[in-house]
Amino acid sequence: MAMYGQPDLREVIFALEGDGMASQKLRDFLESINGKFDFTTEDMRRMVQSFHLEMGNGLSGRKSSLKMLPAFVDRATGKEKGHFVALDLGGTNFRVIQVELDGRGHARVNHTGKFVIPNAVMRGTGTQLFNFIAQSIEKFILRYEIELEKKSKLGFTFSFPIDQKNIVSGILINWTKGFTATGVIGANVVKLLEEAIRKYGLENIQVAALANDTVGALAAKSYEDPDCDVGIIFGTGTNACYREKTANILKLKNPVSGHMIVNTEWGNYSKIKSNEYDDKLDRATNNPGRQRMEKMISGMYLGEVARLVLSDMIRSKFIFAGCKARFSKGNFKTRHMALVESDKSKDLIKIEGYLEGLGILDTTHEDRALLKGVCRTISRRAARISAAAISSVVTWMDPKLRAKHTVAIDGTLYEKYPNFRRTIVAALRELHGDAAKRTKLTQVKDGSGIGVAVVAAVASRGKSRSV
Ligand code: GLC
């Protein structure tokens, strides 16, 4: 069935049959790929049930693939105010941002500094990583001639699983997304940051909050929209947080009444059936067995899943048979999939141009249609798993979806990948019919920067500092 104007493999098979071109072998192969990446309505429903079990286990401190980490902060009120420096570590770039909150729900980013994290730093020692961070802050301050007042407040977005006991400290549980810097797991990352910034003579800076990027997204959106109760990232990695009643977080030692944001770390959800390509990809990562859902959804991995399928097809001469083609590991990125899927031309000329750029010349229309179909099949599964995960979190809070929920979403995959959002919205309707309308998916720009400033402001008011 053609989905939302984009061909998936079944449509390609149909077209090939019409032309009388496809061999039985190719048809069988495509059918099997379609089956392996199918994520049916029934699969989505089953996933929601199992996700709820995992959420409950995680909240109670029982064994679960969902860590359900309390963030020691509630959402914003819109009244938070002040100037903040925000740090954002978690993807390929490290960013330093200066943010101003006006106390009336408006945030302004005054300056942004972007620093590419060298591979050697990502995978070196913790000291190197935190020195790089401090050095970048220093550069930022010098570049924009920022006058640091005594006790300038800093919010630190650290987009990895951290075990927190309060808003100003957190212990790294494990790295994700290819980071492996040594000596950080098990350590308090705020302490490591403070030591490094002291070395660089930045004593005036005071760390006021540590938060995950999903928490930043939720905080940033809730600053202007009181219905916001979920924050999601679809980017290099994927994750979500939501607003929970503290009474439900059974693993908290001294719960007080009220609400708190909980970081699910859903990238690690492990109950989705995987296929041979997922397993092959997983084995080749530096965290095998972990982040299994993230590896089916997020930007760091989707391109590689597609490449593994394409490599099989090239080997069997199902695609690019008349041309010299090889995709080696890491060469086909998610942004290339996005480009392929964005080609709406009849002759698929954008794809042709892209392939020529790689030295793959003389492709046929069938080659290009197959390539697009493979990408679509894989990205479609990613979006449908994402929809089931969103549904799980929202129905956990509100089983019949009676209330309005604003879901704040940040990340390049969501922002840029053709049809990703539409496929999620359609799948949510498939699950919930008209009730899905009350759950509004909104993009939040710069959640990690503005959001952690909001978190720092909430914390500075003395709310939810520790429980
Ligand atoms: C990974 C991290 C998680 C983060 C997500 C998005 O899943 O473990 O903490 O929120 O990536 O950046």
Interval between CA 161 and ligand 1 midpoint (Å) = 7
From 66, 117, 214, 233, give the residue whose CB has the most ligand 1 atoms within 8 Å, as the site to mutate. Answer: 233
Distance 15 CA to ligand 1 centre (A): 40
Q: Ligand 1 mean position to 18 CA, how many Å? A: 45
> Model confidence at 6, in pLDDT bands (50, 70, 90)?
very low
Mean pLDDT of the 119-144 span: 94
Q: What percent of the chain clears pLDDT 90, i.e. is strictly above it?
A: 82
Of 302, 260, 325, nearest to 464 (Cα)? 260
Question: Which atom of ligand 1 is the closest one to the Cα of 233?
Answer: 6
Pocket test for ligand 1, best of 89, 158, 159 (most atoms within 8 A of CB): 159
Of the listed 177, 221, 295, 372, which one is catalytic? 177
Q: Which residues pair with 410 in a beta bridge?
A: 233
DSSP helix/strand/coil, 46: helix
Q: What is the pLDDT of residue 398?
A: 98
Q: Is residue 8 annotated as part of the catalytic site, yes or no?
A: no
Instruction: Dump pLDDT digits (tens) for 14-59.
Output: 777 666 656 888 989 999 999 999 999 999 999 999 999 999 999 9
Indicate if the pLDDT at residue 178 is higher than 70.
yes
- In the predicted model, is pLDDT for residue 2 greater than 70? no
Q: Which residue bears the tokens 């995992």?
A: 54
Residue nearest atom 3 of ligand 1, based on CA coordinates? 160
For 442, phi then psi, to 5°, come to -125, 145
Percent of the chain scored above 70 by pLDDT?
96
pTM passes above 0.75: yes
Q: Poorest-confidence range of 62-66, 104-108, 196-200, 463-467?
A: 463-467
Residue type, 308: L
What residues flank ligand 1, with Cβ below 6 Å?
A: 90, 159-161, 176-177, 212-214, 233, 235, 237-239, 265, 267, 294
Q: What is the mean pLDDT of residues 252-281?
A: 95
Q: Is 398 a catalytic residue?
A: no
Quote the tokens at residue 87. Answer: 């740090």
pLDDT of residue 463: 44
Tell me which residue has its CA closest to atom 2 in ligand 1: 160
d(CA 158, CA 281): 26
pLDDT of residue 91: 84
Confidence band for 203, pLDDT divided at 50, 70 and 90: confident
pLDDT at position 159 is 97
The Cα 43–Cα 387 span in angstroms is 11
Determine the distance separating the centroid of ligand 1 and the alpha carbon of 250, expressed in angstroms.
23
What is the mean pLDDT of the segment spanning 378-407?
Answer: 98
Q: What is the pLDDT of residue 18?
A: 63
Name the CATH superfamily housing domain 70-225+446-460. Answer: ATPase, nucleotide binding domain (3.30.420.40)
Which distant-in-sequence residues (6+ apart) come within 8 Å of 46 by Cβ?
A: none
pLDDT band at 467 (very low <50, low <70, confident <90, very high): very low
Q: What is the Cα 86 distance to its own chain's centre?
A: 19
The closest residue, in CA terms, to atom 11 on ligand 1 is: 237
Expressed in angstroms and rounded, the spacing between residue 401 Cα and the centre of ligand 1 is 26
CA angle 276, 282, 283 (to 5 degrees): 90
| Residue-wise DSSP of 276-334 | HHHHHHHHTSSSTTSSTTHHHHSTTTHHHHHHHHHHHHHHTTSSSTTS-----TT-S-H
* Best of 160, 171, 173, 414 for a ligand 1 pocket test (most atoms within 8 Å of beta carbon): 160
Instruction: Please name every residue paired with 207 in a beta bridge, in sequence order, or none if there are none.
Output: 154
Residues near 159 by Cβ (< 8 Å), separated by ≥ 6? 88, 89, 90, 91, 177, 212, 213, 233, 237, 239, 448
Please tell me the distance between residue 169's alpha carbon and the centre of ligand 1 in angstroms.
18
